[in-house]
Amino acid sequence: MQTNEFIAHFDSYVMGTYNRLPLVLVRGEGARVWDRDGNEYLDFLAGIAVCSLGHCHPRVVDSIQKQAERLNHVSNIFYNEPQAGLAQLLVDNSFADKAFFCNSGAEANEAAIKLARRYAYENKPGQSPEIITMKNSFHGRTLTTVTATGQEKFQVGFEPLPPGFCYVQYDDLADLEGAITEQTCAVMVEPIQGEGGVRVPDSGYLQGLRTICDDHDLLLILDEVQVGVGRTGSLFAYEESGITPDIVTLAKALGNGFPVGAMLATDRVASVFVPGTHASTFGGNPLAMAAGIAVIKSILNDGVLENCRNVGIYFREQLCGLAAKHSIIEEVRGKGLMIGVEISSDGNGIVKSAMKKGLLLNCAGGNVLRFVPPLIITEKDVDEAIQILDEVMGDV
Ligand code: PLP
């Protein structure tokens, strides 16, 4: 089958929920992927911030292979060793006392929303709990997380939406304070908005959120599904602000491609999740946990965070150099290796042209080129990407 025939074949069997690029990827190694025709691409999207250690990282592959030969799955009505292993790694290296495992970012956020509501049920009897989230946010595609998502375009046609959410401006503490009522139980926020266009808030924003939550006895839920697990140059994005949240959600990079989601919380909050309140058949599955253990160990011990910080600075410098040359670039922003380049037109043309020249990236929020490459990329990889972008922008 030719590639165009394969694409038609694929589309005849798989639901059309994506505007897919016409690229059929068959292999990956490090920061590179190959299509079925043998063409090589520099992958600066990494499965959208998923393959942070690079494709098929040997340590992760080895861990999954060994676990696959030993025990793939058991019910959570039994104990399993890898689940304790990943929980301990996450707890020992964070604010949290306990972890709950699931399979995706949306599920981790569902768990966080349920936990916050249950906490209110136990501690604020009679409250009809409401969670404040941010305009332009993204929290997932299940009915509840799409409702938590402060973007109408993801909600249209799926009404009736579950109640219990209201939205305020991101990076605007006054707007948040004005929206708090007797019913408010929690604030849920991304430390950097990802899908909303790589929006980095003011440096005091998380501290301000913490103070407001403390003053009003609200839980602070951080959605670190995209920014967590090393992406900003620290294991968790909240670390750089010096605050401690009550709940953090993770997914994406946690399995480096194996589906793993997690919700972390303090004992005070986690204690309301008693037997029967929440569950997941696959959550904490030994195979997924084996992947997660290898990921966290590698991020903590292999110099990944330092590389992310250093190459992130270099990449942003080079992008600013491009901005001086191409007036289409309006702003370069981000932290670590989560970088957004806002341009003055729709970015999809640039994404397609870059792909044809061997560089993968995507658009967030329409006119923001998003770069979330593996955290192990080198300055040489950045130089290659910059050269392609330079050529593509020169053609615009
Ligand atoms: N939260 C954030 C911040 C995300 O960026 C995403 C996905 O892009 C999600 C939640 C949903 O994660 P998943 O697609 O794994 O359900």
123: CATH: 3.40.640.10
Cα separation, 252 vs 220, whole angstroms: 21
Residues with CB under 6 A from ligand 1: 104-106, 109, 138-140, 190, 194-195, 223, 225-226, 251
Query: Once rounded to an integer, what is the mean pLDDT over residues 344-368?
Result: 95
* Nearest atom (ligand 1) to Cα of 194: 5
Q: Give domain status of residue 65, yes or no.
A: no
218 and 79 in a single domain? The answer is yes
84 and 196 in a single domain? The answer is yes
Q: Give domain status of residue 64, yes or no.
A: no
pLDDT of residue 306: 98
pLDDT of residue 17: 97
Distance 254 CA to ligand 1 centre (A): 12
E strand spans, 103-202:
130-134, 165-168, 184-189
The answer on pLDDT for 365 being more than 90 is: no
Distance 363 CA to ligand 1 centre (A): 15
Q: Are strands 219-223 and 247-250 parallel, antiparallel or unpaired?
A: parallel
Query: Once rounded to an integer, what is the mean pLDDT over residues 285-296?
Result: 98
pLDDT of residue 366: 84
> Which one of 43, 223, 246, 381 is the catalytic residue?
223
191 and 109 in a single domain? The answer is yes
38 and 97 in a single domain? The answer is no
Q: Please provide the average confidence, as pLDDT, over all residues in the chain.
A: 98
Q: Is 315 a catalytic residue?
A: no
Count of domains forming the chain: 2
* Residue 36 burial (10 A CB sphere; 0-12, 13-18, 19+): middle
* CATH number, position 322: 3.90.1150.10
pLDDT of residue 178: 98
252-267 residues labelled b (16+ CB within 10 A) or e (exposed): bbbbbbbbbbbbbbbe
Tell me the residue range of the domain where 266 lies: 71-301
Q: Give domain status of residue 280, yes or no.
A: yes
Among protein residues, the one with the nearest Cα to ligand 1's atom 12 is 105
Q: Give domain status of residue 368, yes or no.
A: yes
Among 270, 301, 332, where does a domain finish?
301
Distance 51 CA to ligand 1 centre (A): 14
pLDDT of residue 29: 98
Q: Give domain status of residue 63, yes or no.
A: no
Among 283, 301, 319, where does a domain finish?
301
Distance 139 CA to ligand 1 centre (A): 5
Q: Is 223 a catalytic residue?
A: yes
Under a CB-based contact definition with an 8 Å cutoff, are residues 70 and 80 in contact?
no
Distance 34 CA to ligand 1 centre (A): 25
Q: Is 153 a catalytic residue?
A: no
* Nearest atom (ligand 1) to Cα of 137: 3
> Which one of 138, 236, 273, 371 is the catalytic residue?
138
The answer on pLDDT for 396 being more than 90 is: no
Among protein residues, the one with the nearest Cα to ligand 1's atom 14 is 105
291 and 319 in a single domain? The answer is no
The answer on pLDDT for 382 being more than 90 is: yes
Share of residues in the chain with pLDDT > 90 (%) = 99
What pTM, to 2 d.p., does this model score? 0.98
Cα separation, 272 vs 130, whole angstroms: 18
